[in-house]
Amino acid sequence: MLRQIVCLILAIPFAALGSSLILKAGIGVGAWDALSKCAAQLCGLKIGTLGMMTNSLCVLGQILLLKKDFKPLQLLQFAMAFMLGSLVNFFYYDLLSRFPVSSYGLSLFCLLIGNGINAAAVALILTLNLVTFPVGGLVLAVSQVSHHAYGKCRQALDVLCILLVLILVFGFHGQLTLREGTVFSMLVFGPLVDRFMSLFHTNLKKGART
């Protein structure tokens, strides 16, 4: 258990770094992050700060939906939300701001590396199966309560996020955060997570035997 907790703690900074690199690329992010980035720009908040708030709301949503079925261990999602948001603010605003992205090729490089790092971190957290990301936990809770497949619930959330982004863009002059990078991330992120999960699952089983 101690080894799993250490791995979980180490995965969070990598998840934040991966997300920050995708944001730094500036050519589109995933639907959920696109909504967070657009809303943060309109509210005058840092992306990580808004992420802490929205992720915390996701945990509250799980508690309301699952009630007695909500596992106390999942309250650690609040700590995860705080750590993830704080680290995104550090990486994106303090560290990566020192390195300008001066070409489209460099943007593509940041997008590719960011997706790889983020997928590896998410895969490790999913493989450990201790605490889920707040967004994923909310989708899972909706899936359990509504008896709809997880994938369909996640697609519904992505569609809702895209619609909200478009409303913020055209109704409130928000920043358009949906671009080619959004499509790229949708195509490569899932397969990368699957590949890393297979790798981590094998290695963690080997480590448990030694």
Question: What predicted TM-score, i.e. pTM, was given to this entire model?
Answer: 0.88
Give the pLDDT confidence score for residue 164 in this predicted structure: 93
Q: Does the residue 1 lie in any domain?
A: no
Task: Report yes or no: 88 and 47 within 8 Å, Cβ to Cβ.
Answer: yes
Contact indicator for 130, 10 with CB cutoff of 8 Å = no
Length of the chain: 210
pLDDT, residue 167, reads 94
Question: Is residue 104 one of the residues assigned to a domain?
Answer: yes
Q: Is 4 among the domain residues? A: no
Q: What is the pLDDT of residue 209?
A: 56
- Kindly tell me the number of DSSP H helices and DSSP E strands found in the chain: 8, 0
In a domain, 66, yes or no: yes
pLDDT at 141: 92
Please indicate, yes or no, if residue 132 is contained in any of the structural domains: yes
Residue 64: per-residue pLDDT: 96
Mean pLDDT by 10 residues, the chain (210 residues): 83 94 92 90 94 95 95 93 96 94 95 93 87 89 90 86 92 87 85 86 65
**Structural domain total, the chain:** 1
- Listing DSSP states for 112-173 in one string gives HHHHHHHHHHHHHHHHHTSS--HHHHHHHHHHHHHT--HHHHHHHHHHHHHHHHHHHHHHH-
Tell whether 128 is covered by a domain. yes
Asked if residue 3 is part of any domain, the answer here is no
Rounded CA separation 169/188 (Å): 26
Tell me if 2 is assigned to some domain. Answer: no
Domain with 102, as residue range(s), is: 9-209
pLDDT at position 123, please? 87
**Rounded to 10 degrees, what is the CA torsion of 170, 175, 180, 182?**
-100
Contacts of residue 40, Cβ cutoff 8 Å, sequence gap at least 6: 46, 47, 49, 50
